[in-house]
Amino acid sequence: MRSLIDITDFSVEEVTRVLDLADEMIADPARWRTAMQGKILATLFFEPSTRTRLSFESAMLSLGGSVLGFAGADSSSTTKGETLTDTIRVVSGYCDIIAMRHPKEGAPMAAKLCSDVPIINAGDGGHNHPTQTLTDLMTIRREKGRLDHLTIGLCGDLKFGRTVHSLIGAMSRYPGVTFVLISPPELRTPDYVLQSLQDQGIPYRETESLEEAMPELDILYMTRVQKERFFNEADYVRLKDTYILDPEKLRTAKADLRILHPLPRVNEISTRVDADPRAVYFKQTRNGRFVRMALIKTLLEDMQ
């Protein structure tokens, strides 16, 4: 039985198979309408979500399966003091697969160790978000036709942005990828992520200037400053609008740049950018449904 806790739990070849299947599903959704009939997905979200939870539920329903779960810890017996491991032991008797989001880093790994069914990490604290990364990889591959030989700018909250950490881990495995890490000093990429890049000899540089980086980028991955991870409101207020992408800042960008964002957006991309054909963040959300369909089928059938 396989789970997905970290994107590198899947080999590059396994990721490619999931992306290929997602492309087949998006091309002909009707073909998969009964693929997971009789199967149940539990979505256990101990933290808020719009895209991840609803796209997982939409994915399972689109495959003919069923869904159950909760959208906040306050509507579960966690409020009565039940431990995560007891919750997982119980819920794994009610379903065939679990997608869970939790504010504590490492919680999905703890869940995997006591679960009778596959666990999918739908975001753990400021650590990882592997299914967002599958969504990002699908979007980049569909937009650029490849995942190698790309210069990727990641901009904003690179410290707490779990989607950033997972995307760097995933893209590091493709040849010719260069990272430009754009953040204020307080929100720099964690040392463990930089160390991993150094150990693998993958080129990267850090800068505070989005304008300076813009002309060289093939992909610009904007992120929100993660308010919920700050200990101090004043620091959040000071840093939240460090980067605001607008049409003026895009004047020096490549014509075939693609702008991604895991969403939700706050202020970091002006709505005036939305009509730019290089802005693909809403396409990205739709890809998330199909790549999660492919992931559910892969974990429940192809990897059993």
Specify whether the CB–CB gap between 126 and 189 falls below 8 A: no
Among 49, 92, 223, 226, binds ligand CP (CB under 6 A): 49
Identify whether 127 is a catalytic site residue: no
Shortest Cβ 49–ligand CP spacing (Å): 3
List residues bridging with 99 in a β-sheet.
43, 120
**In 3D, which of 90, 92, 89, 56 has the Cα closest to residue 71?**
56
Among 146, 247, 264, 272, binds ligand CP (CB under 6 A): 264
Q: Between residues 123 and 130, which has the closer beta carbon with respect to ligand CP? A: 123
Q: Is 262 in the site for ligand CP (CB under 6 A)?
A: yes
φ, ψ for residue 280 (rounded to 5)?
Answer: -120, 20
Identify whether 52 is a catalytic site residue: yes
Question: Longest C-alpha distance within the chain, in Å?
Answer: 55
Give the per-residue contact string, 116-145, with ligand CP (x = CB under 6 A; - = no). -------x--------x-------------
- The separation between CA 75 and the C-alpha centre of its own chain, rounded to angstroms, equals 25
Identify whether 149 is a catalytic site residue: no
Shortest Cβ 38–ligand CP spacing (Å): 27
**3-state class of 165 per DSSP?**
helix
Task: Return the ∠ at Cα 149 (arms to 147 and 151), rounded to 5°.
Answer: 95
Q: Can you tell me the distance from the alpha carbon of 256 to that of 246, in angstroms, rounded to the nearest whole number?
A: 17
Q: Is 52 in the site for ligand CP (CB under 6 A)?
A: yes
- The separation between CA 293 and the C-alpha centre of its own chain, rounded to angstroms, equals 15
Given 39, 51, 102, 159, the catalytic residue: 51
Given 39, 43, 52, 87, the catalytic residue: 52
Among 220, 263, 269, 279, binds ligand CP (CB under 6 A): 263
**3-state class of 146 per DSSP?**
coil
Identify whether 146 is a catalytic site residue: no
- Report the sign of the C-alpha dihedral through residues 179, 182, 183, 184, in that order: positive
**3-state class of 1 per DSSP?**
coil
List residues bridging with 269 in a β-sheet.
245
The label of the residue with tokens 């994915």 reads: 59
Shortest Cβ 261–ligand CP spacing (Å): 9
Given 39, 101, 127, 240, the catalytic residue: 101
Q: Between residues 50 and 267, which has the closer beta carbon with respect to ligand CP? A: 50
Identify whether 83 is a catalytic site residue: no
Q: Between residues 89 and 229, which has the closer beta carbon with respect to ligand CP? A: 229
Given 53, 129, 240, 261, the catalytic residue: 129
- List residues binding ligand CP (CB under 6 A): 49-52, 123, 132, 262-264
Active-site residues, by number, are 51-52, 80, 101, 129
